[in-house]
């Protein structure tokens, strides 16, 4: 089982990290708790390519991806962006513990969490959750529970920046 947590300054890239959840053996836990740029996260994943052959790709029957996109209005007012503030390292630790709990509870193969901090413009991605599992039902249930618990329990706050 694999857990990855990434906190980024600004918006997330449009593309999902290529096979990011598959680059580490299912018996290891990979946590990126430091500040990483999108490019450095891709490079770090590429550097783990020596473990690619140990990946549990044969066990994955479903990959579910949720991307949170900043809407153009917040509470009925037009916004330019959202500003995300995270209380670190507690936010990363909370996301990691939540991911581990969801992974175990739902019998998943891997979870990758990517969340922005700082300013993210309307129309850009601020959050991405990727779940690999043997079956879709477990992945979908895990996705829903993870997002609800993250919004309730993880110390990440958003503030609208109005036009």
Report the pLDDT value the prediction gives residue 9, as an integer from 0 to 100: 87
Q: In the CATH scheme, what is the code of domain 2-45+55-162?
A: 3.90.1170.40
CA dist., res. 132 & res. 130, Å (int): 7
10 Å CB burial of residue 18 (0-12, 13-18, 19+) is exposed
Structural tokens at position 89? 């390292």
Report the pLDDT value the prediction gives residue 14, as an integer from 0 to 100: 63
CA dist., res. 150 & res. 135, Å (int): 23
Task: Decide the pairing of beta strands 2-9 and 73-74.
Answer: unpaired
Report the pLDDT value the prediction gives residue 75, as an integer from 0 to 100: 84
Cβ(131)–Cβ(114) under 8 Å?
no
Report the pLDDT value the prediction gives residue 57, as an integer from 0 to 100: 67
Report the pLDDT value the prediction gives residue 21, as an integer from 0 to 100: 33
Report the pLDDT value the prediction gives residue 151, as an integer from 0 to 100: 96
The whole-number mean pLDDT for each consecutive block of 10 residues of the chain, a chain of 163 residues, reads 85 56 32 34 35 59 96 92 95 96 96 96 96 97 98 96 94
H-type helices in 28-89, by residue range? 38-47
Task: Decide the pairing of beta strands 125-133 and 110-121.
Answer: antiparallel
What is the residue extent of each domain of the chain? 2-45+55-162
Report the pLDDT value the prediction gives residue 60, as an integer from 0 to 100: 94
């Amino acid at each position: 089982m694999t857990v990855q947590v990434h906190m980024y300054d600004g918006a997330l890239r449009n593309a999902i990290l290529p096979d990011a959840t598959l680059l580490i053996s299912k018996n290891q836990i990979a946590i990126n708790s430091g500040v990483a740029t999108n490019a450095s996260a891709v490079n770090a994943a590429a550097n783990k390519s020596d473990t690619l052959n140990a990946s549990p790709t044969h066990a994955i029957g479903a990959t579910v991806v949720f991307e949170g996109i900043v809407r153009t209005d917040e509470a009925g007012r037009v916004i330019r962006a959202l500003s995300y503030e995270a209380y670190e390292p507690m936010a990363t630790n909370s996301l990691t513990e939540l991911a581990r709990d969801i992974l175990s509870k739902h019998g998943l193969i891997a979870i990758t969490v990517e969340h922005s901090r700082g300013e993210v413009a309307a129309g850009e991605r601020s959050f991405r959750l990727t779940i690999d599992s043997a079956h879709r039902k477990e992945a979908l249930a895990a996705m829903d529970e993870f997002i609800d618990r993250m919004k309730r329990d993880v110390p990440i706050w958003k503030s609208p920046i109005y036009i």
